[in-house]
Structure 1
Amino acid sequence: MRAQTSNLDNSSIALIAKAINKEGYACIPEFLSRSQLEELREQLSIEAERHEGNYFAYHGDNALAGSPLVALKASPDFQKMLADVYRQAVGNSAPSSEIFPVLRCVQGGSGRRESNCFHFDASLVTALLPIEIPQQGKPNERGDLLLFANRRRVRPSVLLNVLEKALVQNTFTRKLISLGIRLHLLRPQRLRLVPGNLYLFWGYRSLHANEPCNPAYRRATAIFHYGDPHAGSLLTSLILAVNQHRARRASQISDQHAV
């Protein structure tokens, strides 16, 4: 799968990084063609039916084997774009050139349990590619992306990063954040995502989550993580393994509830 990245020169990359710093995110419209988007949707429908209308997420190349998303990840143009955006943000190359893909589908009642899960990403650059986004329903039931952009810097040690994430990424804190939003005490950016566009933001620095969407509709996104500032540390590897296990477990629980 090829995407609209081959025409991004150095000045375009600089504008993307500037937009992320200033606005919290950058958008590349019509990143996928209509036929490419339709191909992804067809495959998504097969997987959604296999999970009987419940939440699921696939993490990494092995779980996504055969998906056009793996082909996109392997595209030299796409790899170069993420590397250049990272370099604009930090001033040097990323410690690792690995791109970690995720396919995430929020649907049915089980999808609500996986919404409003505010977190910081492990990677600096997060590229979000919407595949299906609800267009109907109440404004707070469309699965909009909620973003507290650029709220922290890259931490000097992996331990400090983990401690900070632990203070935020727990059930109690997430419920407080969600309550603060409902009471209008906290005002995140709310992004209405357009399928086929590509959205880039500093996932490591930005607290973010998706709002719940109406169980009658489906919200599906592909996420590409690039540039873990703490790549290579044992603690980072352990956290990644735990997150992948949790994702598999969440999908299994959703499937069991459908039986």
Structure 2
Amino acid sequence: MEASALQLITNEIKNKGSSCITNFLSNEQLALLQESVRIEAEKHKGSYFAHHGGGEIESCLLGALGASPEFRNMLASVYQAGAGQAAYSDEILKVLRCVQGTSGRRESNCFHYDASLVTALLPIEIPQEGVDRGDLILFPNGRRIRSNVLINVVEKALLQNALSRKLISAAIRHKLLRPEKLQLVPGNLYLFWGYRTLHANEPCDPSHRRATAIFHYGDPHAGSFATRMILKLNQRRARRATALGTQPTA
């Protein structure tokens, strides 16, 4: 990707809160990913599931994309623009999430900050009509990178709980808070600073499937003991949620 294109992406994230690369996937690539999701969805019999890395991701197009030098350079450039320095590690955490059935309505509006600074969201299957499409809602760039990991942990604990999420959702309904809303289009790529942006997805019609791939890059607190423990806890909760057919809330 040319330097001018990378500059445009980072400027959009700074000024608008997110950047969209339209038609990031070809029709053929998108069809391949949708078929992979369909096969996995049938295995889980209409329930929520998520894969955090692993063979299911690495064996499909998502694994090849995460290994692409051009893709990795793009994420590194977006991180540099947001943090003012290179990332501690160039590791990319790849996640495949699929909301289907009633799990989408039960576990929507789970507002959170990501552990990584850069979040690249690739929609695979998204309802394009109706009211409940699982739109992405954002409060862009609402906080800075914290110098202390404990401050980050406390902030997340205060906002990422059931009461806070209900209050935020109620404030949005009554137009006391006005977040940005993105109607996601399969095959586009959406980039934002997930660490700095409080975000969640709206409810998705239970009769439709919402499948997304997420690429997390650049944890500002990577290497700290607290970060390692939180990552292990979140991965354990994600595995438990997949086993139960529900969505984790963090």
TM-score by length of structure 1 reads 0.92
Q: Which residue, out of 159, 168, 184, partners 1:177?
A: 168
Q: Does residue 37 of the first structure (1) align with residue 30 of the second (2)? A: yes
CA offset digits 1:92-148 (Å, max 9, x no partner): 21111111000011110022233111000001110000001102322xx11000000
**Partners of 2:153 and 2:56 in 1: CA distance:** 26
Q: Is the 8 A contact 1:158 1:230 kept in 2?
A: yes
CA offset digits 1:7-57 (Å, max 9, x no partner): x21121111111001101001111111000000000000111111111111
Q: Give the secondary-structure state (helix, strand or coil) at the position aligned to 2:181.
A: strand
The residue aligned with 1:210 is 201
**Partners of 1:85 and 1:207 in 2: CA distance:** 18
The residue aligned with 2:213 is 222
**Partners of 2:54 and 2:89 in 1: CA distance:** 16
Q: Is the 8 A contact 2:128 2:185 kept in 1?
A: no
Q: Give the secondary-structure state (helix, strand or coil) at the position aligned to 1:64.
A: helix
> 5+ residue gaps in structure 1?
1-7
Mapping 1:140-155, distance limit 5 Å: 141-155=132-146
Q: Which residue, out of 77, 81, 84, partners 2:77?
A: 84
Which segment is superposed worse, 80-89 or 222-231? 80-89
Q: Is the 8 A contact 1:95 1:227 kept in 2?
A: yes
The 1:63/1:113 distance shift into structure 2, 3 A limit, reads: farther
Deviation at 1:67, TM superposition (A): 2.3
Q: Does residue 54 of the first structure (1) align with residue 24 of the second (2)? A: no
Counterpart of 2:202, as a letter, is E
> 5+ residue gaps in structure 2?
none
**Partners of 2:45 and 2:111 in 1: CA distance:** 26
Deviation at 1:66, TM superposition (A): 1.4
Query: How many residue pairs are counted as aligned between the two chains?
Result: 246
CA RMSD of aligned residues (A): 1.2
Q: Give the secondary-structure state (helix, strand or coil) at the position aligned to 1:49.
A: helix
Mapping 1:106-185, distance limit 5 Å: 106-138=99-131, 141-185=132-176
The residue aligned with 2:11 is 18
Deviation at 1:86, TM superposition (A): 1.2
The 1:22/1:123 distance shift into structure 2, 3 A limit, reads: same
**Identical residues among aligned pairs (%):** 63
The 1:239/1:28 distance shift into structure 2, 3 A limit, reads: same
**Partners of 2:202 and 2:89 in 1: CA distance:** 31
Deviation at 1:248, TM superposition (A): 1.1
Deviation at 1:182, TM superposition (A): 1.4
The residue aligned with 1:5 is none
Counterpart of 2:128, as a letter, is Q
**Partners of 1:63 and 1:121 in 2: CA distance:** 23
Q: Is the 8 A contact 1:54 1:111 kept in 2?
A: no
TM-score by length of structure 2 reads 0.95
